[in-house]
Structure 1
Amino acid sequence: MTLALIDYGAGNLHSVANALRAAGAEDLTITASPDVVRAADRIVLPGVGSFRACAEGLRAIGGMVEAMAERVHVGGAPFLGICVGMQLLATRGLEHGVTPGLDWIAGEVRLIERTDPQIKIPHMGWNDVSLGLHDPAEGLIDAGEAYFLHSYHFQPEDGANVAAMTDHGGGLVAAVAQDNVVGVQFHPEKSQQYGLSLLSRFLEWKP
């Protein structure tokens, strides 16, 4: 099983790679090659920083977005987006103006609204991950506690795409899913056993 971890200058690649290997990934390649992505059995897209910078970095690699779409939507490869890599699944991001996302899961990425003066932004640290009434990720996401670090959050248009929630002065989407695509707002690579268990399940996931 080959796994492509996409390098577009916007992720803590080595931490994610180490966590994936600890979770059982044996044939893992950190890559900026569309050809490698097009041939991979599974794809992981990390992301750290602003939505705009990440979107521009990904699109700056010629043919990468097309290779991802071909492998995931036509070839059916399981896909995992992490943090901003999850946010890029949205239709658009509203950080530093409007920036188009991949539009794989309809919705917007917008600033977390401060409804309580005691609530700090960014949302940083450990927080509960709770499951909803439906399970679009087909058992991939589990309830538990994960490490978050973000100021913007994904609001899907269709609640059926919400795989998990967390609470930070109100509900925030912790994970989204649709078919063979899943994204998590938290950092599995920083979430100790909870994160490793999730990555292990992703390596075996057959959506």
Structure 2
Amino acid sequence: MSSVINRELVAAVRPSLMMTGLFAGLLGLAYPAAITAVAQAAFPWAANGSLITDHGQVIGSDLIGQAFTSARYFHGRPSAAGSNGYDASASAGSNLAPFSQTLHDRVAGAVKDFATSSPGSPVPPDLVTTSASGLDPHISPEAAFSQVNRVAAARSLAPEKVHELVETQVEQPLLGLLGEPRVNVLALNRALDEATSARAQGH
């Protein structure tokens, strides 16, 4: 009787084990490997993290913000990753409720800092609030334009020239429909450094 039960049990379990192994191999190994191969062949830059290099050195990613604090640079959105800055492994929103005192104090502090560095400019919401990921590399064109006077003064440049530079860095919505106009802060600051270097060399 015991041997009959064991055979019936094995017969009942075997299909489940075979299907588990089959789908683990297909969905856990074969499918990811195929998608990775296609991505590496068709979109290698994006598949490897959209890394930006300068003279062979990786200086950032097109997809992850950085903490620029100098008056000579445009600043991005605050990061919800806290002390980890824009660490991708700590990607998250703050999840603070609208009535949170912590949120109120943080935003109030950011508004005060902006008013000090850019007096007279309207406060762009995206410069005092974090994004859902906490890693957003973009700001709105309005947020970039609001920093023009500070950056121009710090670099002894004409505000009009810096304003024109920002305009060249505005990315339009995909197909004119998806998303909002935006400015990648790292790309803008790199263009700013290049423009300042060319000016210093008399070009």
TM-score interval (norm. to shorter):
under 0.3
TM-score after normalising by structure 1: 0.25
Structure with greater helix percent: 2
The higher radius of gyration belongs to 2
TM-score after normalising by structure 2: 0.25
